[in-house]
């Protein structure tokens, strides 16, 4: 794909947009960058890019480009993108642009939950096997930044969100991983099926020579790639774990408590998916075990903050949807005081009620969805509604007896009060450390 002399318009000037602009410049394009934000948002943009702050839909309708590269944070089906695409030759995302100039192999990871841990595990294994393995895409660095390196890694561990998958065209993973699926992002998609269709695009360019690693029991269309399964409930899957030992077709590959810091069924699934993907590349079990030695999961994923007066405080701020909340509750062995809430994503929380009844002593809700969530949850467990996270932590402490766990697992996104789940989790961590 030659961009020499062509006009590439970049819509959205976050880190991925800046990387896409730099890559397009390197490939000889005339590059313009557009964003609704003011001039300050364009800091760090590559020299030579024509910038357009405070860009409107009217500006978009006047913009003529050979290629429009859309940020994943902008709804690719919305009116803003529609305006810019009217006079554009092709519309793609930064990940797709980078894939067209990447010379190595791609392991692509998607799923509603567990993507980041799996991406990290694969990166660690590939690096230990001297295959590069840079984590990029929805986690790590933008894929275009990897492609801009003077020496590209032989393999990348590419996490893909549904937003990024919406705009792929030719991206071709040698291994695609489907971890799980549950309703999410219903503030962006009209139906659950629309969200699912976006996720399924991870398989669209695979052939019979490629591999699809999927959780056993997931209902998927017929795939061109060879299917490899993993499970914590189906012993006949290609990979199986009881949460302690990982086996491949009956052979023990990993003892989680001895060989790693990974705990729980959800992390067993992540590790199996990573092992299955890396086995396709010919990496030995011994190298994989060595790579995972000493590994700890990323923060904000059932992260133990401290134990105070016999109460454990767990930070699961990464739980931005119902499936993640349910997984966190299911993995608990102590009585739980749950802290949940945040942005109203129009999800149906009724499915959580049986687990709440089984696992929770009480619930404290906060944020934009606090009151409706409390009204629903109070049908099965004592519930208090507060406005802010600081109030939620103080209230949860008063409700949690010795031997219990205070679990921040919001079940929705944080954008009503925070810049992201990381900030929410960091604030929770600080509040817990301040308890006396």
Q: What is the pLDDT of residues 189-215, one digit of tens each?
A: 778 889 899 999 999 999 999 999 999
Q: Quick check: 92 and 65 in contact, CB under 8 A?
A: no
Domains present along the chain, CATH in parentheses:
7-89 (3.40.50.720), 97-292 (3.40.1190.10), 303-434 (3.90.190.20)
Q: Quick check: 409 and 328 in contact, CB under 8 A?
A: yes
pLDDT at 5: 95
- Starting at the edge strand found earlier in the chain, the sheet holding 226-231 runs 132-137, 155-159, 105-110, 175-178, 211-215, 226-231, 239-241, 245-248, 251-255
Rounded mean pLDDT, 155-178: 97
pLDDT at 186: 57
Q: What tokens does 412 get? A: 């929705």
How would residue 302 be classed by pLDDT, with cut points 50, 70 and 90? confident
Q: What is the DSSP letter of 274?
A: H
Q: What is the pLDDT of residues 310-345, one digit of tens each?
A: 999 999 999 998 888 988 898 787 899 999 999 998
Judged against a pLDDT cut of 80, whether residue 257 lies above it is answered with no
For residue 320, which phi and psi values (nearest 5 degrees)?
-100, 15
Judged against a pLDDT cut of 90, whether residue 301 lies above it is answered with no
Q: What is the pLDDT of residues 218-238, one digit of tens each?
A: 999 999 999 999 999 999 999
Judged against a pLDDT cut of 60, whether residue 8 lies above it is answered with yes
Q: Quick check: 424 and 418 in contact, CB under 8 A?
A: yes
How would residue 346 be classed by pLDDT, with cut points 50, 70 and 90? confident
pLDDT at 187: 66
pLDDT at 185: 65
Whole-angstrom distance, CA of residue 375 vs CA of residue 156? 45
Q: What is the pLDDT of residues 67-76, one digit of tens each?
A: 999 999 898 8
Nearest to 195 by CA among 180, 184, 204, 187: 184
Nearest to 69 by CA among 52, 89, 44, 45: 89
Burial class of residue 64 in the structure, from the number of CB atoms within 10 Å of its CB (0-12 exposed, 13-18 middle, 19+ buried): exposed
Nearest to 348 by CA among 155, 194, 184: 184
Query: Buried (b) or exposed (e) across 284-297, using 16+ Cβ within 10 A?
Result: ebebbbebbeebeb
């Amino acid at each position: 794909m030659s961009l020499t002399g062509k006009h590439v318009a970049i819509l959205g000037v976050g880190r991925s947009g800046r990387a896409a602009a730099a890559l397009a410049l390197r490939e000889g394009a005339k590059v313009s960058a557009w964003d609704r934000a003011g001039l300050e948002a364009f800091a760090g943009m590559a020299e030579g890019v024509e910038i357009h702050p405070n860009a409107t839909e009217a500006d978009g309708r006047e913009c003529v480009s050979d290629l429009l590269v859309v940020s994943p944070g902008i709804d690719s089906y919305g009116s803003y993108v529609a305006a810019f695409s009217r006079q554009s030759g092709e519309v793609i995302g930064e990940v797709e642009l980078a894939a067209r100039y990447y010379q190595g192999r791609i392991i692509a990871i998607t799923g509603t939950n567990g993507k980041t841990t799996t991406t990290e595990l694969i990166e660690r294994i590939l690096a230990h096997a001297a295959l590069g393995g840079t984590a990029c895409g929805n986690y790590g660095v933008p894929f275009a930044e990897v492609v801009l390196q003077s020496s590209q890694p032989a393999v990348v561990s590419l996490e893909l969100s549904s937003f990024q998958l919406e705009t792929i065209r030719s991206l071709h993973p040698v291994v695609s991983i489907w971890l799980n699926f549950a309703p999410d992002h219903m503030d962006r998609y009209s139906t659950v099926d629309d969200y699912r269709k976006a996720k399924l695009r991870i398989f669209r360019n695979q052939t019979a020579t490629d591999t699809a690693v999927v959780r056993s029991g997931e209902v998927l269309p017929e795939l061109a790639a060879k299917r490899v399964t993993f499970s914590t409930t189906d012993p006949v899957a290609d990979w199986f774990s009881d949460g302690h030992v990982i086996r491949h077709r009956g052979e023990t590959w990993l003892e989680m408590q001895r060989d790693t810091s990974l705990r729980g069924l959800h992390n067993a699934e992540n590790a199996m998916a990573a092992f299955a993907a890396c086995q396709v590349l010919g990496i030995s079990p011994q190298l994989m075990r060595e790579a995972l030695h000493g590994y700890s999961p990323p923060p904000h994923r059932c992260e133990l903050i401290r134990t105070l007066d016999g109460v454990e405080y767990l930070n699961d701020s990464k739980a931005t949807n119902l499936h993640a909340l349910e997984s966190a509750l299911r993995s608990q062995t102590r009585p739980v005081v749950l802290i949940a809430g945040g942005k109203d994503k129009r999800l149906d929380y009724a499915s959580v009620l049986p687990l709440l009844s089984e696992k929770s002593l009480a619930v404290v809700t906060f944020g934009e969805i606090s009151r409706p969530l409390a009204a629903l949850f109070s049908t099965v467990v004592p519930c208090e509604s507060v406005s802010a996270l600081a109030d939620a932590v103080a209230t949860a402490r008063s409700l949690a007896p010795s031997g219990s766990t205070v679990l921040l697992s919001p079940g929705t996104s944080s954008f009503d009060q925070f810049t992201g789940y990381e900030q929410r989790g960091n604030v929770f961590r600080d509040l817990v450390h301040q308890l006396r």
